[in-house]
Structure 1
C-alpha cells in the first residue's frame, strides 16, 4: 500500500493533471506504440487519432488521484474498463509496459516539475492500481463464457441501412451465454493493414437461437476510415469465419427497475435493442425513444415492430424533418429509470437535456460508443 506521505505527493499533482493530463497521455501512447508496435492491434487507432482514448486515460488517472483516499469511489470505472481489457485479452504482463511509458510521459511533459519524489510516488501508486485491475480481470477471465478468441461462422449478413449491417454468427463449440447490453469483440486481419485489429460490437438481440447477433456501422470520421467496420462491410460474407472473444460489459437493466425509458441514436440502438427485448419478455413497462436521420436510415425495423407488438411504447424521430431529440420527447418519464446509448456526440446533449428536466445522474445509465471515461465527471 502507498504511504500517507506519498498520497500527499499524489494529491499535490492534481492541478498539473487537470492542466496537462491529455498531453501526458497522448505522449504516453506515442512512446509506447513506438517501443511496442505489437500493441497497436489492441487499441482502436481511430480513437487515438481523434483524441478520445488519450482523454479517457487522462480522466482515469485524474480520478485515481482525486479519490486516492477512497478507491472504492472509482470501482465502477475500474469494472467497466476491466471488461474491455478482458475482452481484448489484456494480461498482467502488459501492465509494467504501460507503467513504464506512463511515468516517462509524465517526465517528458512536465520536465523539471516531475521531481524524483513525484515519479516515485506515482510509480508506487500505479503499481497499486494495476494490481486492482489485474485482480478484477482475473475473476472476469475465470467467469468468461469461453477462453480467448474462437471461430464463429457468419450465418446471416443483413444490410439494414446504407451504413449499417447486421451479422448473425454461430459456433457449435461454445456456450452462447450473455447478458442483454453486453458486447462481443471481433478480431480480424484486414488485407493491407499491418496488424490484427480488434473492435467491440454490441449484441443487438436477446434471441440467440440462431447465434449471436451484432450490428456494424461503417465508420468514417473526417479522413479516418474505420479499419474493422469497413472490412466487415466489404470483406466478410455469409459462410466466412470471424474470431470472437466472450461477451463482456456491465451495461444491463437492473432487476429492480420495472419502468424504463430507453434512449438511443443511430447505431447506438444496438445494445438497447437487446435490453428492451429482455425487459419486455419480463413484463416490464418499456418506452423506447429513438433518433435517426430519416426512414432510409432506420435500422432494426423488424425488431422495433416486434417490440411494439409486445406492448412497448416505441417513438422514432427523424432528425432531417423533426429535429433532434429534446426534453419534450422524454416528457412523463419522471418515474422511469433511463438507459441511454449512442455516439459521444449524441450522449452529451442527451444527458444535459435529462439533467435540465431535473433527472438526477443516479437514474441515468449510459454506454457511449467510445471510451466512457472521456465523458465522465471526476
Structure 2
C-alpha cells in the first residue's frame, strides 16, 4: 500500500470544510452517476436507502471522517471493521473499487468544479487508493475465513410466527450439507428479487439462535412503513411470499458485533424491538455451552403483541438461576400481565434499572434503533461503565458514538 505524501495529506485535510458543506450533494450525485453507468450495481446497493437519502448521507459522513482523520487512520478501525463485514456479506469484490473511485472523484469535480484544482484531485485519488487497499485487504481476510463466498441457495425448512410483526425462518443448505457455525451476534444477507424495483435486493438479518449444524435461523420484522419511511421491500416479501420449501439465497455469516465468549464477566443483553434477535443468539449460545456467566436480559417493546420470544425467555429464566430478565412495555395492552409478560411500564431506563442493583464489570451488548442504542450507551457512560465494555450493533445508516 502506497503512503501519502505530506502535501497530499494536507490537501485532503484542507477539503474537510468543503465536505462538511457539500458532502451529501456530492454523494447523491455520485450514486446517480454510478448507477447510470453501472445499473447492475443497483442489485448490490439498498435502493430504499437511495430513495430516502440515508445512504448518501452515510457515505458523506464516511468520506468526511476519512478526510478529517487521513493523518491518523487508527481511529477508524472500528468503522472499517463494520464496513468490511458488510461489504463481505454483500460480496463486494476488488473490481468494484475502481468503479466507485472513478465516479466518486468524478462527482467531486462535477459538483465543486473550479473549487478544486488538479493537485487536490490527485491527492484525493491517492487517498481513495489508500482506503481501497485497506478495505480490499480486510475483505480478503474475511472471505478466506468465510464458510462460503457469494450467495448460496438455502431452503426454508420451517417458518414460525413469533409476534404480530416478527417471523422466524429456519434455513437449511439446499444441498443437504450441515449448516455452518458462526459467532453469536452475526448476521446473514438474504437476497430477493423485488419486482417493484426490477432488481435483486440484499438485506441483513441477525441470526437468532445458537449454532446447531442443522439450520440457520433468522427472525425478520415486517417493516410496514410510516409516513416518513417506505415499507420494507424484502421484509414484506419474506413475510408474504416465503414459506417452508422456498429457496432463498444467502451469504455467509458476517459481522463484528459478537459475544466475547472467552470472557468470564457477567453479560447484560439490552435490546429494543427486533434488536432482540442477536441477543437470543448470544443467550442461546451461553446456555448451549453451559456457561456459568450471570446474564441479565433487558428488552423493550411496545406491548405483548409485538414481544417476540416471550415464552422462550420466560422458560429460560425459570430453568436457569444465572439468567434474569427485565422487560419494559411502553404501551401496555389490557391482556398484558405484569410479572409474567413484562416487568416495567414505560421506556427502558438503564440509569434507574442499574443504579438500583448494578452489574459490576459486566459486558453490555446493545441492539435496536439507533436513537435507542445511543440513549442506552449514554446511560451506561453516566453510570461510569467503561467504553470497552459497551458493544453496539448498527446495520443501516446510523452510527452510535
| Same topology, TM > 0.5 | yes
Contact 1:268–1:369 (8 Å) recurs in 2: no
Contact 1:88–1:198 (8 Å) recurs in 2: yes
Aligned residue pair count: 375
C-alpha RMSD of matched pairs (Å): 1.8
Tell me the distance in 2 between the aligned counterparts of 1:232 and 1:131: 36
- Please state whether the residue corresponding to 2:133 is helix, strand or coil: helix
Residue 90 (structure 2) aligns with:
88
* Larger CA Rg, structure 1 vs 2: 2
2:241 aligns with one of 214, 220, 235: 235
Q: RCO greater where, 1 or 2, for CA within 8 Å and sep 6 or more?
A: 1
Contact 1:292–1:298 (8 Å) recurs in 2: yes
Query: Alpha-carbon deviation of 1:32?
Result: 1.5
Q: Where do 1:39-188 residues align within 5 Å?
A: 39-171=41-173, 172-173=176-177, 175-188=179-192
Is 1:329 equivalent to 2:329 in the alignment?
no
Query: Alpha-carbon deviation of 1:262?
Result: 1.0
Residue 259 (structure 1) aligns with:
266
Tell me the distance in 2 between the aligned counterparts of 1:186 and 1:7: 39
Contact 1:289–1:329 (8 Å) recurs in 2: no
- Please state whether the residue corresponding to 1:242 is helix, strand or coil: strand
TM-score (normalised: structure 1):
0.93
Worse-superposed segment, 73-82 or 125-134: 73-82
Contact 1:273–1:303 (8 Å) recurs in 2: no
Is 1:273 equivalent to 2:280 in the alignment?
yes
Q: Where do 1:5-20 residues align within 5 Å?
A: 5-20=7-22
2:366 aligns with one of 340, 351, 369: 340
Structure 1: where are the runs of 5+ without partners?
A: none
TM-score (normalised: structure 2):
0.88
Is 1:224 equivalent to 2:235 in the alignment?
no
- Please state whether the residue corresponding to 1:104 is helix, strand or coil: helix
Structure 2: where are the runs of 5+ without partners?
A: 333-344
Residue 202 (structure 1) aligns with:
206
Is 1:352 equivalent to 2:400 in the alignment?
no
Tell me the distance in 2 between the aligned counterparts of 1:174 and 1:210: 6
Residue 342 (structure 2) aligns with:
none
Tell me the distance in 2 between the aligned counterparts of 1:266 and 1:96: 39
Query: Alpha-carbon deviation of 1:264?
Result: 0.3
Tell me the distance in 2 between the aligned counterparts of 1:59 and 1:205: 34
